[in-house]
Structure 1
Amino acid sequence: MTTQAGRQTWPGVVGGLVVLVGAGLLWGPALFDGHPGDPVARFLFSVAVILLVCHVFGAVLKRFGQPPVLGEVIGGLVLGPSVLGLLWPASQGWLFPEPVLTALNYAAQLGLIVFMFLLGCELRTDRLGSRRVVGATVLGGMGLPFVSGAGVALAAPALGGGGTGFVLFFGLALSITALPVLARILVDLGIADTRLGVTALSSAAVGDGVAWFALTVILAGTGLSGTGSVATTAGLAAALVVVTVLCVRPALRALVDRVASAQLLLGTLVVGAIGYAGVTQLIGLHPVIGAFLFGVAVPRHTPAVTRIGEQLQGFAIAILLPLFFAGVGLSTSVGLLGESGGNWLLFVLVLAVATVTKFAGAGGAARLAGLPVRDSLRLGTLMNCRGVTELVVATIGLQYGFVNELGFTILVLVAVITTAATGPLMRAVTARGGDGSPEDQAVTSERP
């Protein structure tokens, strides 16, 4: 009954959206010609188009068994020069003029700050399972891709600005695993609470912490922003961490225990996350690092914080993150690959290195740590999910000049492809191993 209703509803919804977007793109320019000085209306119209396109693609990919966030990322790419700019350049130029792009960038930064704050809040180390396996997975799953990525950067300086910062950043970019998207994939596969699922989530969580710490060191070591002094930036960053551990974290614990008003607590946490983001921007780091650090300091296991996280997550994922995806799409141009065969070879090389080293590093290290062969194959497959975290890191790299537009485009495509392939590959590996053997049953039913 529901399926039949869905079959009847979807064509009408899609048809209505096509008419709406088409009418806006056809007659919108004429409408705004009479009001060329109305930037607010143009910004609001652009936001509406972004949200519409991203959520439609998210809903479509969800029906094909993919995480909705992947569809939203693809929706952002469609609005950029890779699709809309290629098929209809005039409409893209009208839809995203420079003032609108500036406003969208600020809104996207706010979305990233909230997202990274929530990611810090979700960073848990109380369910590590086998610490030996998790430690080996993180070491192999990040170490091998990092070394290989640095080697690619040394061999292909055309991807970035050169120098030590570029080499270190590119190695880090290939070693990312996205915790939020991986968690969604594990839920969809029905293995989130199994030994394998807990190991994968724990490895991704620890890896995220290591990655953001490493990025902090790279930014502080290059001194590209803020104070401009490497020593000053490193000293201020270290001081901020010490103050967070010794002062802010106990204060937040006392606040959560004593404040009964959910609204007051919500406002305090949001203000703290944004304030920390501003501080890290001033001292020479990226704002998302401050938001992540503040999120890590927030107490866990409290109903109030859980409710606040759910409220913020709905708003950030539904409204703010699509604006970030649109910004990524507007900075990504697949046409850069088509200019020469060498660029396509670089893309294939980076994709192969990222996939193979992540699979071999995470899966191989887990096997050496004692995980069964079948579980090691699955874990290596899962850790290849790069998702939104890779996009955030790639955007930071472009902003600070570690990578150029070609390098950024390749990293974005690697993130999309590896994320889209994680679920199907995981199902294929599971099906090939069989579902009825005693080993399979133990893996899918054992709790940590």
Structure 2
Amino acid sequence: MNTTEIFLLAMLLIFTAPYLVWRFCKTDYFAPLVIVQIIGGIVLGPGVLGAAFPDYYQFVFTAPVVQSLNGIAWWGVMLFVMLAGMELDLKKVWQYRRESATTAGFALGVPLLFGCAAAMLLLGYQGWMGVKGKNWQFLLGIGMACAVTALPVLVLLMEKLDILRQPMGQRLLRYASLDDVAIWGVLAIILLDWERMGRQAGFLLAFAVLTPLFRRLMARLGEDDRWYVSLIWLALCGFGADWAGLHFMVGAFLAGVVMDAHWFEQRKLDMLFKHVLLVLMPVFFLSTGLRTKWDAGSYPVFFVAGLLLLASVGGKLAGAHLAGKMLKWKQGEASIIGWLLQTKGLIEIIFANILLDKQIITSDMFTALLLMAAASTMLTVPVVQPRLHRESHAGLMQQASS
């Protein structure tokens, strides 16, 4: 077969296998399609498919095919991250700034500390920190990976739970939005290259100068032109950030943050988000899965994934309960908010990809983070749905008694 035919065979695998598992095994309750696709990427990677069928794996995933898949994945994830940045409503955050800052601070800070403690334990063992990583970068990177909340996946799960447009859903969006800003800010610090400080300062200065000009231009354009200009802006910011040594995904997020969602029709934005998830992100999941690596029977990877899952979930729940006590939430709210905010999904995978790209973590550590992200997201709906049902039932009973 030629390269084109092998590439199409790889695409056939990417879209067929996860869909059939999701549809026929009816996993939607505990694992929505996006989670099945993430796990599918891991299964199709060298750790499972490559180990079970090495000849077939090497035949399909040749260097030219992987390079083509990576190109699609890069653009897809840039679009996804830009849309995640556009989701941030900083005006709402400012309106409820005390509650939002308190909750976001505890929900980010506590799991960050728990994750740093887990990373401190791992520093005593070889094989987890990358060759170019410094101790502080490894500690902060793993800590932040445990503290991440996946805003776009959180939106999807809240839609599934039918709370997105309710007060609880809007509160969660504010908390997750603030955490998103902090996450990308910390990532920029981790990636700061002292030898390329001039480039990075130049990029940030250029971004600060061009942003007001870009916003004025977008305000004057019609919606059709805005779509094209936004893509030009995305490519420019991604290129500038990567050239400066930060990472193209940092640039993509910055590109989205300075865009206003009301510049575009909400229905079209929602459709673009769904189409990116449908058409492009499965390729990103596979290209991510191709980077996973562990030896058959390599128990340490699974042990580390469990340790990180404990730090992540435990930290989020502890942080939410601390915020709940300080803000005097109703009974049961802290658990629901904590479980929803611990959803990792795609943002944690993107975060881990960047750490691997910069060789701050090893492929084994990357695999552990990937497993942790899939497990934390799969836990969300089965744990939260019964709690929401109890809260709703208690509310109805209270109304009836009054």
Normalised TM-score (structure 2): 0.90
In the alignment, is residue 317 of structure 1 matched against residue 277 of structure 2? yes
Match of 1:182 among 141, 154, 164: 154
> Is the 8 Å Cα contact of residues 115 and 143 (structure 2) preserved in structure 1?
yes
> Is the 8 Å Cα contact of residues 18 and 33 (structure 2) preserved in structure 1?
no
Match of 2:180 among 194, 208, 226: 208
CA gap of 1:330–1:381, structure 2 versus 1, over 3 A, is same
d(CA) in 1 for partners of 2:90, 2:396: 27
> Is the 8 Å Cα contact of residues 150 and 346 (structure 2) preserved in structure 1?
yes
Task: State the partner residue of 2:49.
Answer: 84
CA gap of 1:252–1:97, structure 2 versus 1, over 3 A, is same
In the alignment, is residue 69 of structure 1 matched against residue 34 of structure 2? yes
1:141 positional shift:
1.0
Task: State the partner residue of 1:385.
Answer: 343
d(CA) in 2 for partners of 1:405, 1:217: 22
> Is the 8 Å Cα contact of residues 83 and 256 (structure 2) preserved in structure 1?
yes
1:367 positional shift:
3.0
In the alignment, is residue 55 of structure 1 matched against residue 13 of structure 2? no
Deviation track 1:358-385 (CA, whole Å, cap 9, x = no partner) reads 1111332233122223111111111110
Gaps of 5+ in 2: none
CA gap of 1:270–1:238, structure 2 versus 1, over 3 A, is closer
Task: State the partner residue of 2:198.
Answer: 232
Deviation track 1:169-192 (CA, whole Å, cap 9, x = no partner) reads 111111100011111111111111
The one-letter code of the counterpart of 1:247 is L
d(CA) in 1 for partners of 2:100, 2:21: 34
CA gap of 1:366–1:253, structure 2 versus 1, over 3 A, is farther
Task: State the partner residue of 2:220.
Answer: 254
> Is the 8 Å Cα contact of residues 305 and 368 (structure 2) preserved in structure 1?
yes
Match of 1:347 among 305, 308, 318: 305
Normalised TM-score (structure 1): 0.81
In the alignment, is residue 139 of structure 1 matched against residue 105 of structure 2? yes
Match of 1:111 among 69, 76, 85: 76
With 383-392 and 361-370 compared, the bigger mean Cα shift is at 361-370
Task: State the partner residue of 1:330.
Answer: 290
CA gap of 1:252–1:407, structure 2 versus 1, over 3 A, is same
Task: State the partner residue of 2:143.
Answer: 171
Match of 1:160 among 126, 129, 135: 129
Deviation track 1:58-92 (CA, whole Å, cap 9, x = no partner) reads 44555435332111112212211233223222211
In the alignment, is residue 416 of structure 1 matched against residue 374 of structure 2? yes
With 47-56 and 401-410 compared, the bigger mean Cα shift is at 47-56
Deviation track 1:303-329 (CA, whole Å, cap 9, x = no partner) reads x45355245324321121111100121
The higher relative CO (CA closer than 8 Å, separation ≥ 6) is in: 2
Gaps of 5+ in 1: 1-31, 33-37, 443-448
CA gap of 1:237–1:359, structure 2 versus 1, over 3 A, is farther
d(CA) in 2 for partners of 1:385, 1:334: 24
CA RMSD of aligned residues (A): 2.3
Task: State the partner residue of 1:438.
Answer: 395
Task: State the partner residue of 2:9.
Answer: 45
d(CA) in 2 for partners of 1:45, 1:68: 21
Q: What secondary structure does 1:373 align onto?
A: coil
d(CA) in 2 for partners of 1:244, 1:440: 56
> Is the 8 Å Cα contact of residues 145 and 175 (structure 1) preserved in structure 2?
yes
With 115-124 and 59-68 compared, the bigger mean Cα shift is at 59-68
In the alignment, is residue 397 of structure 1 matched against residue 355 of structure 2? yes
1:94 positional shift:
1.1
Structure with the greater alpha carbon radius of gyration = 1
Q: What secondary structure does 1:301 align onto?
A: helix
Task: State the partner residue of 2:254.
Answer: 293
1:349 positional shift:
1.7
Aligned length: 391
Deviation track 1:36-67 (CA, whole Å, cap 9, x = no partner) reads xx322222221232122233344455543533
The one-letter code of the counterpart of 2:100 is V
> Is the 8 Å Cα contact of residues 218 and 226 (structure 2) preserved in structure 1?
no
Deviation track 1:133-176 (CA, whole Å, cap 9, x = no partner) reads 22112101111111222222222123212522222211111110
Deviation track 1:1-34 (CA, whole Å, cap 9, x = no partner) reads xxxxxxxxxxxxxxxxxxxxxxxxxxxxxxx2xx
